[in-house]
Amino acid sequence: MIFSKLALSAAAAMMASSTGVSAKGSEPGAGGNIRNCGTPQMTPEQVHNYNTLAMQSMNKLNYLKANAQKSGGVSTQKVEIEDLQEKEIKVYVHVLANGTKVEDGYLEESQIHEQISVLNADFASAKFSFHLQNISYSINSSWAVGEDEEGFKSHLRKGEYTDLNLYFPITLPESLLGYAYFPLFLSQDQAFNSPTEGGSGLDMFTLDGVVIRSDTLPFGKYAPFNLGRTATHEVGHWFGLDHTFGSGGCEGKGDMISDTPVEASPAYGCQVGRDTCPNQPGEDPIHNFMDYSDDACLTEFSPLQKAYMHSAYETYRQNVYGIKK
């Protein structure tokens, strides 16, 4: 989600036949706040690549489960987790404030540590852990409201493509809670922002990362989205996961993850028992981190989502320019 003419030209160049930025959902939640995620929709090429990867992950999981059943005794859940190789993610946090007071968005370090703890708790069963490397504080009235994405990212982005940059402005345009970018084959896709296409020349390496309004952090003011789960959701995108409601309703491609039940539209609040695709197996995955429910209602990734995140991380983020890290 780039809020500038760069966005339009880059999006046009890259997403020729796609709908570009999604701003799904406008049903009011409790207190008038709405979960609204600005992560751009997948391009047709991403859909193709991620689907292939998800199929491979599923086949591997099924194979492991079948083997476990043959040898007996081992629970399939244990097998699903055992096969995943623990990964430690370095995290760089960037606070985009309007002044040095807490009310200017100048976050206390303790609140940032709380957010990292939430990430660690939510991703623990997926075998990802997050390790804070550094916090930068910028005071800039444009950046503090999420404007000039190119500017703040080109100044602040740290680390490698394996590392997570989290940007915390006070607020974001278009009432978004956050947005992220899916992982890409950098060497191929960097060019889509090229100046000759009307872009700024910023590459996808620089844009990579997660932007979240800081009142969604634990103890933030944006109830019922203030338990830190916006970060969990956006980091899920950063690992390559789509929304559980995908696109195209009950007959659409969904999220390409076969163990999350298909749902027709985002779920808001905490609608236990919701089933928007009654002809498809399972109730809607309203507790899944990649849905739109309130923070307190979001509790899980599915086994295949976990396996897929590892595959995508290994394929895209640890394999930049074809060189395995």
Ligand X SMILES: *[C@@H]1O[C@H](CO)[C@@H](O)[C@H](O)[C@H]1NC(C)=O
Residues with a known catalytic role: 234
First CA to last CA distance, the chain: 28
Contacts with ligand X in 139-168 (CB under 6 A)? 140-145, 148, 151, 155
SS (HEC) of 40-75 = CCCCHHHHHHHHHHHHHHHHHHHHHHHHHHHHCCCC
Q: For residue 188, state whether it binds ligand X (rule: CB under 6 A).
A: no
Q: For residue 293, state whether it binds Zn ion (rule: CB under 5 A).
A: no
Site string for Zn ion, 38-77 (x = CB under 5 A): -x--------------------------------------
Task: Please name the residue that has the structure tokens 């406008």.
Answer: 26
Cite the DSSP H helix spans in 239-297: none
Site string for Ca ion, 259-298 (x = CB under 5 A): ----------------x-x--x------------------
Site string for ligand X, 76-115 (x = CB under 6 A): ----------------------x-----------------
- CB distance 41 to 25 below 8 Å: no
117: alpha, beta or left? (left if phi > 0; alpha if psi -120 to 50): alpha
Q: What is the C-alpha separation between 215 and 146, in angstroms, rounded? A: 13
| Residues contacting ligand X: total by CB under 6 A | 13
- Tell me how far, at minimum, the Cβ of 235 lies from ligand X, in Å: 21
| Only segment of 37-45, 135-143, 231-239, 311-319 that touches ligand X (CB under 6 A) | 135-143
- Tell me how far, at minimum, the Cβ of 200 lies from ligand X, in Å: 12
Contacts with Zn ion in 6-45 (CB under 5 A)? 37, 39
Closest CA to 313 of 123, 28, 113, 115: 123
Q: What is the C-alpha separation between 280 and 246, in angstroms, rounded? A: 15
Residue 4 interacting entry, from Zn ion, Ca ion, ligand X, none, C-beta within 5 to 8 Å by type: none
Per CB under 6 A, the list member of 19, 52, 77, 134 interacting with ligand X is 134
Q: Residue 35 or residue 153: which is nearer to Zn ion going by CB? A: 35
- CB distance 275 to 254 below 8 Å: no
**Side chain identity at 18, as an amino acid letter?**
S
Residue 277 interacting entry, from ligand X, Zn ion, Ca ion, none, C-beta within 5 to 8 Å by type: Ca ion
Handedness of CA 98, 174, 210, 131 (dihedral sign): positive
The strands making up 164-169's β-sheet, listed across from edge to edge, are: 128-139, 87-97, 164-169, 210-212, 178-180
Binding site for ligand X (CB under 6 A): 98, 134, 136, 140-145, 148, 151, 155, 170
Task: By CB under 5 A, name the binding residues for Zn ion.
Answer: 37, 39
Contact residues: Ca ion, CB under 5 A: 275, 277, 280
